[in-house]
Structure 1
Amino acid sequence: MTAEAAEAPTAPAPSYGRLIPVTVHFDDLDALGLLHNARYLVMAERAWTSLWNERGFGGFEGDWEAAGDFCNAVKEQRISYEAPVTRPGAYAVHLWLERLGNTGLTFGFRFCSADGALTYAHGTRVLVRLDAGTLRPAPWSEPFRVVGRELLRSAD
């Protein structure tokens, strides 16, 4: 077992949400050979986009009106770092919804080993759906809400 694996907190395989594979590349590491702190959030963003694309929701292609539910903005994000990632390779981001409101949502994430067993960082991000014309909060579409409800973490 590597020193890195021994230090990372162990978590059970996820019984909720989705585990999305991600790759850490050599150039994601900082001068100390650690995954740069900002890259964790970039990886969570890429995993989130991948999850929604997989579910039939396209990303932004230059037209805010056509973007629909992808016309949203980050209101808040929090992250806690548990153990350093010191090597490039295969990892995963575990994603779920903590809250799905009318115009906003909170998703949770864990940056973890590829099998989800080791947690390196975890956090939340609050998104607000925006009206493309006014940039004011707007309701999520019903198709988006249907998929979102499948990702909600149960209260227990």
Structure 2
Amino acid sequence: MTAEAPTAPALSHGRLVPVTVHFDDLDALGLLHNARYPVMVERAWAELWQGHGFAFEGDWAAAEDACNAVKELRIGYEAPVTRPGAYAVHLWLERLGTTGLTYGFRFCSADGAITYAHGTRVLVRLDAATLRPASWSERFRSVGRELLRPAG
């Protein structure tokens, strides 16, 4: 009789994006530095959105939906990351408004089974010329709707 490998929990919403923790991401105690979590979450989001054709390539006017600013970031730490290696970020949208959105995230084990940190971040879409709130495009909203966490 052979033991079966544990299976990763099925995601009911969002996407699991692989990330790598490097040795130099750890602090003097050998823990993933608290400031590195948001950086890794940002990189995971950038990868996800770039996969859908949304990216900043140096021109804010051409960036359209990628022209946005962070309004709020909240993060809670559940368990320390104590070694370099493969991990993941579970990403989803909590809310998709006309000019803003709130996304949720979990920094987790590569299979999504263990949560190390979780949080939310509020973004506002900006008009590149005025830096005032602007509406998300319908193409962006369409992709965003696929990432919304189901109510309840």
Query: What is the TM-score with the length of structure 2 in the denominator?
Result: 0.93
DSSP-derived class of the 2:64 partner: helix
Give the corresponding residue for 2:131: 135
* Percent of aligned positions that are identical: 83
Give the corresponding residue for 1:126: 122
**Alignment-mate amino acid for residue 92 of structure 1:** A
- How many equivalent residue pairs? 145
- What is the deviation of 1:76? 0.1
DSSP-derived class of the 2:111 partner: coil
- What is the deviation of 1:60? 1.4
Pairs within 5 Å for 1:5-84: 12-57=9-54, 59-84=55-80
Q: Is the 8 A contact 1:13 1:115 kept in 2?
A: no
DSSP-derived class of the 1:55 partner: coil
DSSP-derived class of the 1:37 partner: coil
Query: What is the TM-score with the length of structure 1 in the denominator?
Result: 0.91
RMSD: 1.0
Q: Give deviations 1:55-78, integer Å, cap 9, x for gaps.
A: 122x21211100000100000000
- Is 1:103 matched up with 2:99? yes
**Alignment-mate amino acid for residue 147 of structure 1:** V
Q: Relative to total residues, which structure has the larger helix share, 1 or 2?
A: 1
